[in-house]
Every structure is written in structure tokens, then in C-alpha cells.
Amino acid sequence: MMKQTAMIVGVAAMAAGTALAADPARIDWTQVPATKLTLFFPGQASYEWVRNDHKGGKGAKAAAGGQACEKCHEGEEKDLGDALVKGGPLEPTPVKGKNGTIDLAVQAAYDAANAYLRFQWKTQQPYGGTEHQYLRYDGKEWKVYGYPKLDKVVQDGAQPGIYEDRLAIMIDDGKVPGFSKQGCWLTCHDGSRDMAKQFTKEQVAANPLLTAIKKSDVRKYLPATRSDPTDWKTGLAVADIAKIKAAGGFVDLIQWRAHRSYPVGMADDGHVLEFRLADAGKDMFSGNADRSTHQPKLMWDEKKVGYRSITADALRKGDHFLIAGQNAVPFDPNAGWKAGDMIPDYVTSREAAAGSAADNKAIASWKDGMWTVVIIRPLGLANADDKMLKDGGVYNVGFAVHDDNITTRGHHVSFVKTLGLGAEAEIKAVKLP
Ligand code: HEC
């Protein structure tokens, strides 16, 4: 091992901080072994489906007892994904021509300061999905333009499919019961957005937990936060959920976003407990629509980029990021807007990102049909909403990729794997000198 790691030098200490950090751009990844995973399209195979409707009943019984998915499904990702993506009881709105699986190569390294997680996957489309929804002027008003491909408006042809590519990681340090066996399936429930038996607005408005935490829909949650884990409506009291959190009973959720974090060299930092939550502080992205007027708050700085807005024919030609403090200026309502003018619905800022939500940095590129993403995660994070990575640690991890203009369940997912930093695991992080 010594010999191998000695070759991964390129260590230019960028560290004006405490621990010495490698320059992630100079790590020699050819010296770091790659773990090849097959991510598959899961459709609406939820926690509840796994327990109650799993084929033949046998799978359901064992899975309800907490048995590992891979105990029965090892090597079956391709069969599962190819079957589910076509449509059927578990996929009511199939996307025509969508791939059933994505091959994801995962590499990991670490030094005294950070873990470096590198991912490579091929996109289905001949472009990296860096576009996200826009605000578009229709001659009278600014309205959202572009939706994810599972949405009816896209399937009907009323709107184009526009949504950023994403790479997501869930991390458990062994404190979430069952995560080591069933991974992400603990968090994915009926009733959530785009899942079977999706919530109604009235149900959410009447729900004590969701009103207490000021949420207007249902997203990922962990079983322990509900008195009946199979019913999102049965949330525990906020004080009891806080106790679960203090005991570490949450999973970390890191998302690299091709429109909303990539332009500023970051990945977001969230966690899943009673909801899919952002960590404390401030994300690197925020909405660009004014709440009352629905007009954009910022537009492009014409002096810097040559235009204030784009039109649909410019989509997929170059980058269209709106970055506060770099290429954006306050929106001018009297600039002679024409029908069809478009301004991004989100704005990013590295400077605005703060606190625990701003922990993760990232370097990425899309080339020859493939994304390469390196996520840089500091070791030793002591925040109440982070899983602390450390030398010698072993973690249960799940991966997901949102490819080709899609969100919610339209991702490809992995069964749970282990990640070890200087410890035995399926994905072994190599120690950098
Ligand atoms: C005890 C064994 C067992 C366990 C554990 C198990 N399954 Fe299954 N699963 C099955 C069997 C058997 C089938 C039916 C196989 C077939 O149709 O070829 C199945 C089918 C499926 C399908 C395909 C459904 C379809 O309509 O094509 C999915 C998706 C699935 N399982 C997901 C999971 C997930 C996720 C887990 C873990 C949370 C899991 N399974 C755990 C046995 C199991």
C-alpha cells in the first residue's frame, strides 16, 4: 500500500488552514482503484411496496424483517432497471427511451483534511445537463419554463424537459437501524412527491409534524420519525425527533447539482430525518423569482456576458448560469422585454453559502459524453447535522444519479455499499501522502 500511495503525490498544499490538504485537481486518480456500480431505475418501489407488495410475498416478508436487498438481488440491477423503466405497476408515467441502468465508477481517497470522492458516468443525452428551469416572459408575465420529464406537462408536450443532472450520496455511520441492509429504501415512501398515494395539499396542511416544521409537501423520511413508519402522516413530536437527531439517527445527504452547485465549485449538504432537509446555514443556490411579482430578481449583466436574457434556441449551447456577484445584476422591469425572453429561475453564490450547508466543495467536468465529479468533504465535521468522516471509519453509503432532465424517483439508484477510510470496505478510500 505504501508504494501505491506514494505515487499519488501531486500534493500541493493549498492549505492555509489547519490540516494539510491535497490539491484535488492534482490527485493522480489512475492510482486509485475504481469500484463499478450499476445504478438502476427504481420506479415507485418504496419502503411500503417492499414490505407489502413485493412479488410472491416471500421477498416482502423477508424485507419487512429487515433482510438486505442484495441477499436476494445481488447482480440483478440490470434486470430490475430494464423491467421497471418501461412502465407497469411501479412506473405509471414511463419516460420513452430512458435507460434502465447507469454504470457509475466510484473512487475514493483521503488525507488529513478531506475525503475526495470521484464519480464518473455517461449521460444519456449528448450534453451535460447543466440547464435548469427558467422564468420566461410571455408578453405579460414571467412564468416557469421547463419541467422534469416525469411531469405531465412534459409528457403531453406542453413544456420542454429541462432539469439539472445530479449525483447524490447518502451516508450512515451505523446509527440508523436497517440502513446497512436496505440503504436508501428506508427513506423512500408512499405519499411523497411523485410516489404512489401522493399527499394532497389538504392532508399536508392538516398534518401536525409538517405544519410544525413548515413544509408544504412530503419528501424522504426515516422510519423512526413516524409512529407507523409506513404512514407519513404519523409523525412524532418535534422534541422526540430532536432526540433521534442528537443520537445520530439521521443520514447525511450530499447532492452535486449540475446547475445549482457546479458553477460555484460546490455540492450541497443536507440530511434526511423527518424530511429531506438542508443543513443549518445557507445553500449555494436560491430562487430567482420575486414572491409577489413573480418577476426575476436578477438578470444577466449584459456588460459581462453580452445579453440580459436568452431565448429557447440558445438552450444547450454554452453555459447558462446566473452567479450572484459575478455575472448578475438587479432585474430591470423596464428593459423592453419581449415574449420568449428567459432568465434562470435559480441563482448560485459561493459567497452566500454558509454554515453547515456549505461544507462540501466539488470539481467537475463533462467531456466526451461523461461527467467526472470530485466531491471534497472535510473530515471531522462536528456539526449536529453531519456524519463525521474520519480516518479508520466505515460508512454505509447509497448513490443516486438524476440523468436526462428528471427529478424525484426518476433517478437511478444503488443498493447500499460500504465506504472505508483506511478500513476494510467495498469502496476503500486510498490514503494520500
Ligand atoms: C427474500 C428475498 C428478497 C429480498 C430480501 C428483497 N427482495 Fe426484491 N424481490 C424478491 C423476489 C423473489 C422478487 C420477484 C423476482 C422476479 O419477479 O423475478 C423481487 C422483486 C423485486 C423488484 C421487482 C419488481 C417488479 O415489478 O419487477 C424490486 C424493484 C425489488 N424486488 C426491490 C427490492 C428491494 C429494494 C429490496 C430491499 C429493500 C428487496 N427487493 C429485497 C425477493 C427479495
Ligand 1 interacting residues, C-beta cut-off 6 A: 45, 50, 54-56, 58-59, 62-63, 67, 69, 71-73, 80, 83-84, 90, 182, 185
**CA 62 / ligand 1 centre spacing (Å):** 10
Return the pLDDT at 2: 33
Q: In whole angstroms, give the CA distance from residue 50 to residue 45.
A: 6
CA 175, chain centre distance (Å): 21
**pLDDT tens digit string along 176-192?**
999 999 999 999 999 99
Quick check: 283 and 350 in contact, CB under 8 A? no
State the pLDDT confidence band at 8, using cuts at 50, 70 and 90.
Answer: very low
User: Which positions ≥6 away from 186 have C-beta within 8 Å?
Assistant: 47, 176, 178, 179, 222, 223
Give me the mean pLDDT over the 143-167 stretch. Answer: 98
Residue 69 is placed in which grid cell? 436487498
- CA 351-353-357 angle, 5° bins: 155
Return the pLDDT at 26: 87
Cβ atoms within 10 A of the Cβ of 22, count?
A: 25
Question: What's the farthest any 2 CA atoms get from each other in the chain?
Answer: 66
- pLDDT exceeds cutoff 70 at 172: yes
**pLDDT tens digit string along 103-144?**
999 999 999 999 999 999 999 999 999 999 999 999 999 999
Task: Report which protein residue has its CA nearest ligand 1's atom 34.
Answer: 69
Give me the mean pLDDT over the 357-386 stretch. Answer: 98
Tell which atom from ligand 1 comes closest to the C-alpha of 42: 29
User: Which positions ≥6 away from 348 have C-beta within 8 Å?
Assistant: 259, 260, 261, 263, 264, 284, 285, 321, 322, 323, 324
Return the pLDDT at 72: 94
Q: In whole angstroms, give the CA distance from residue 245 to residue 342.
A: 42
